C-alpha cells in the first residue's frame, strides 16, 4: 500500500467550561495561579452522601446564554457544556464553515465517559423512585452518548464525520487523536473535538463512593498524604486544522498537535500498568518526531490515587530515561478535579497555555512528596520556563492509555 | 470478641475468596487469601451489606494488607457504635 503523505495538525481555537469558570482563559488563569476549584459538594442530596467535596462548574454558569430556546430542552448538562465550549473555540478560530463549503470537510469527535448521566439519573428517579409510568419524551435525545457531537454539528452546520468516543477517563484524548488522524489522512480539513462530562449525579456519586477512591479533603497528586481523587466536570473543545489550511487563511495557531500514542495494558480492569503507559508515551514521542530531550513538560494523568501516581511516575521514567529528571511534571487535576471523559480536554488547555505563555501550571496541594514519586512535580506555584514541547497523559479504567504530543506553534 | 461476628465475617471472606473457611486465620491478610484490588472492595461491600454498617473511607489498595482479624474488629466496632447511637437516641 502506498503511504499517504501526512499533513501536520494545528490547534486554532479552544473553549472550556470548567470548575475554574466559563471560558478557556478563566481555566488557564486559574491553573497558572495555582487556584484549586475543589470545594464543598453542591447537590440537593449532599446531606445524605458520604462524599462531601467536588470540583463543580460555578453556579453562575448560565446554560441558556445565547442558546436557541428550542434547542435547550434537548440538552443534557454534558451537551450544554460542550455547546458553550465549542462556540468559544470556533469564535476564536475565526473559521467560517459556509465559506468554500468547509462545513462538509469538518469533522466533530467528542469524548465522553458516560454521556447524559444527569438525564439518566433524573429519569430513573422518576420511574423507580416516584413510580411514574412515563419517562420524559426527550430522554433519548438528551442521554445518547453522541448528543454533544450531534448538537455541535447541528449548531454550526458541520457535515463531516461526526461521532462520540468513549474510553472512560481517556475519552477526550482518544477523541482528539481520532480527529487529528482524520485531518492527517485528508478525510477532513478541520475538526471540532475534545471532551465533555457532567458526572455529579446522585447515582454516580454513590457508585464512586462504593469504589472507595474518592478523597475526603482535597486532591493531592504525588503527595504522601493523598487520599484519592476528587470528581470534576466540564468540557474542553478545540478547533483542529491542517497546518496548510490554517496558514493559508492567516489564522493564529495556538499549538501544533504533533503526535499521539495509544495503547491498552491488557492486564487489569482498574490497576494501571507502567509498561502500557510508558509505551503510549514512547509512541507519542516517535509519532511527533520528538526525542525525550525535546520535551520540557508533561501534564500528568495524576489522579491523586495510590495506584496512579506511583505507576505513572515509573512509566515516565521508563519512557524518558535520564531525561525524566529534567522534566517538569504537573497534575492540574489538583485544581480542576477529575472530569473523567473531559479531563484530557481541560488538561489540553493547560498544555496550550504552557506552550504559549512559557509557564508550567503547578501541582496544587503538594505538601510532602511521596518518596515513591521522585520527579519534579512543580509543587504549588507555577514556574516560568520555556516549553518547546509537551505530553499530555490520560489513562483510563479498562487499562486504556492515550497520550498527546504538542509543540509550540511554528 | 464476639465469636459470632468473627464466624460471620469469615464466612463472607470464604465465599468471596472461594476457599474453605478453615484456611482463614485471624492473622491472614486479604492478599494472603488471594483477595486483591476490586475483590477487596467487593468484600467490604458484602460485609457492610450483611451487617448494615459503614466502614470509614480509606483508599481501596489499603484493604489488601488488612488482616481477617482487623476486619472482624472493625465490624465489631461499627456494630458497637451503632448500638450506642441507637441507645443514645432512645
Residue B36: the pLDDT is 83
Residue B90 lies inside a defined structural domain of this protein: no
Residue B51 lies inside a defined structural domain of this protein: yes
* Active-site annotation holder among A84, A156, A169, A219: A169
Is the Cβ pair A50, B58 closer than 8 Å?
A: no
Q: Which chain A residues are closer than 8 Å to B60 by Cβ?
A: 211-213
State the smallest CA–CA distance between residue A208 and chain B in angstroms: 12
Is the Cβ pair B57, A271 closer than 8 Å?
A: no
| Contact by Cβ (8 Å): A11, A253 | yes
Domain membership of residue B26 as a residue range: 3-84
The predicted-structure confidence for A68-105, as pLDDT tens digits, reads as follows 999 999 999 999 999 999 999 999 999 999 999 999 99
Q: Is the ipTM of this complex over 0.90?
A: no
DSSP state of A267: S
Q: Is A39 helix (H, G, I), strand (E, B) or coil?
A: strand
How do A21-22 and A9-18 pair as beta strands? antiparallel
Residue B44 lies inside a defined structural domain of this protein: yes
Quick check: is A60 catalytic? no
For residue B64, pLDDT over 80 is answered with no
Residue B61: the pLDDT is 46
When CB atoms are compared, the residue of B38, B54, B57 closest to A270 is: B38
When CB atoms are compared, the residue of B41, B54, B62 closest to A211 is: B41
The predicted-structure confidence for B16-46, as pLDDT tens digits, reads as follows 999 999 999 999 999 999 998 889 889 999 9
Residue A139 parent element (H or E) = helix A139-143
**CA separation for the pair A242, A51 (Å, rounded):** 44
The predicted-structure confidence for A321-342, as pLDDT tens digits, reads as follows 999 999 999 999 999 999 999 9
How many percent of chain A have pLDDT more than 70? 99
Is the Cβ pair B61, A306 closer than 8 Å?
A: yes
Residue B48 lies inside a defined structural domain of this protein: yes
The predicted-structure confidence for A273-293, as pLDDT tens digits, reads as follows 999 999 999 999 999 999 999
Residue B89 lies inside a defined structural domain of this protein: no
**CA separation for the pair A376, A3 (Å, rounded):** 40
| Chain A, nearest residue to B54 by Cα | A50
* Active-site annotation holder among A84, A245, A336, A338: A338
Is the Cβ pair B57, A216 closer than 8 Å?
A: yes
> Any long-range contacts for A1-6 (C-beta under 8 Å, 24+ apart)?
A4/A185, A4/A186, A6/A184, A6/A185
Domain holding B51: CATH number? 1.10.1200.10
Q: Which chain A residues are closer than 8 Å to B37 by Cβ?
A: 268, 270-271
| Chain A, nearest residue to B58 by Cα | A212
For residue B60, pLDDT over 90 is answered with no
Quick check: is A338 catalytic? yes
Residue B20 lies inside a defined structural domain of this protein: yes
| Chain A, nearest residue to B37 by Cα | A271
Quick check: is A373 catalytic? no
B56 in A contact zone (CB under 8 Å):
no
For residue A63, pLDDT over 90 is answered with yes
Is the Cβ pair A212, B41 closer than 8 Å?
A: yes
**CA separation for the pair A175, A182 (Å, rounded):** 11
A244 in B contact zone (CB under 8 Å):
no
Residue B2: the pLDDT is 60
**CA separation for the pair A114, A234 (Å, rounded):** 13
Residue B55 lies inside a defined structural domain of this protein: yes
Is the Cβ pair B57, A305 closer than 8 Å?
A: no
Closest by CA to A298, choosing from A409, A394, A172, A392, is A392
B45 in A contact zone (CB under 8 Å):
yes
A221 in B contact zone (CB under 8 Å):
no
Domain count for chain B, please give it: 1
| Contact by Cβ (8 Å): A57, A200 | no
| Chain B, nearest residue to A272 by Cα | B37
Amino acid at each position: 500500500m502506498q503511504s499517504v503523505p501526512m499533513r501536520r495538525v494545528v490547534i486554532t481555537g479552544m473553549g472550556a467550561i470548567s470548575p475554574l469558570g466559563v471560558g478557556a482563559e478563566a481555566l488557564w488563569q486559574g491553573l497558572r495561579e495555582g487556584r484549586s476549584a475543589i470545594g464543598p459538594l453542591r447537590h440537593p442530596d449532599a446531606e445524605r452522601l458520604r462524599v462531601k467535596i467536588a470540583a463543580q462548574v460555578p453556579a453562575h454558569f448560565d446554560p441558556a446564554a445565547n442558546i436557541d430556546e428550542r434547542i435547550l430542552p434537548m440538552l443534557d448538562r454534558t451537551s450544554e457544556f460542550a455547546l458553550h465550549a465549542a462556540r468559544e473555540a470556533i469564535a476564536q478560530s475565526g473559521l467560517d464553515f459556509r465559506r468554500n463549503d468547509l462545513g462538509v470537510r469538518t469533522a466533530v469527535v467528542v469524548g465522553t465517559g458516560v454521556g447524559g448521566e444527569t438525564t439518566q439519573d433524573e429519569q430513573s428517579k422518576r420511574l423507580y423512585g416516584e413510580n411514574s409510568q412515563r419517562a420524559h419524551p426527550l430522554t433519548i435525545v438528551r442521554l445518547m452518548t453522541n448528543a454533544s457531537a450531534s448538537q455541535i454539528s447541528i449548531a454550526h452546520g458541520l457535515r463531516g464525520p461526526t461521532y462520540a468516543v468513549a474510553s472512560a477517563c481517556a475519552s477526550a484524548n482518544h477523541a482528539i487523536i481520532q480527529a487529528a488522524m482524520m485531518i492527517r489522512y485528508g478525510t477532513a480539513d478541520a475538526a471540532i473535538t475534545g471532551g465533555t462530562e457532567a458526572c455529579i449525579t446522585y447515582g454516580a456519586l454513590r457508585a464512586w463512593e462504593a469504589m472507595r477512591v474518592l478523597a475526603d479533603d482535597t486532591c493531592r497528586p504525588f503527595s504522601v498524604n493523598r487520599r484519592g481523587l476528587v470528581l470534576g466536570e466540564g468540557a474542553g473543545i478545540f478547533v483542529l486544522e491542517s497546518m496548510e489550511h490554517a496558514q493559508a487563511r492567516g489564522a493564529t495557531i495556538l499549538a501544533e498537535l504533533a503526535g499521539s500514542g495509544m495503547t491498552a495494558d491488557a492486564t487489569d480492569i482498574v490497576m494501571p500498568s507502567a509498561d502500557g503507559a510508558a509505551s503510549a508515551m514512547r509512541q507519542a514521542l516517535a509519532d511527533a518526531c520528538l526525542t525525550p530531550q525535546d520535551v520540557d513538560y508533561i501534564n500528568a494523568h495524576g489522579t491523586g490515587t495510590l495506584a496512579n501516581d506511583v505507576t505513572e511516575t515509573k512509566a515516565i521514567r521508563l519512557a524518558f530515561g535520564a531525561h525524566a529528571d529534567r522534566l517538569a511534571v504537573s497534575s492540574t487535576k489538583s485544581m480542576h478535579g477529575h472530569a473523567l471523559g473531559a479531563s484530557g480536554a481541560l488538561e489540553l488547555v493547560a498544555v496550550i497555555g504552557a506552550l504559549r505563555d512559557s509557564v508550567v501550571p503547578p501541582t496544587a496541594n503538594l505538601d510532602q512528596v511521596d518518596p515513591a514519586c521522585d520527579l519534579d512535580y512543580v509543587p504549588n506555584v507555577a514556574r516560568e520556563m520555556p516549553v518547546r514541547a509537551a505530553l499530555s497523559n490520560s489513562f483510563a479504567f479498562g487499562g486504556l492509555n492515550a497520550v498527546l504530543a504538542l509543540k509550540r506553534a511554528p | 470478641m464476639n465469636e459470632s461476628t468473627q464466624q460471620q465475617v469469615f464466612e463472607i471472606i470464604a465465599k468471596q475468596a472461594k476457599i474453605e473457611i478453615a484456611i482463614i486465620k485471624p492473622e491472614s491478610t486479604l492478599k494472603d487469601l488471594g483477595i486483591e484490588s476490586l475483590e477487596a472492595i467487593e468484600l467490604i461491600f458484602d460485609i457492610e451489606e450483611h451487617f448494615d454498617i459503614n466502614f470509614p473511607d480509606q483508599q481501596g489498595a489499603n484493604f489488601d494488607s488488612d488482616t481477617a482479624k482487623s476486619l472482624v474488629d472493625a465490624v465489631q466496632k461499627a456494630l458497637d457504635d451503632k448500638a450506642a447511637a441507637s441507645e443514645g437516641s432512645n
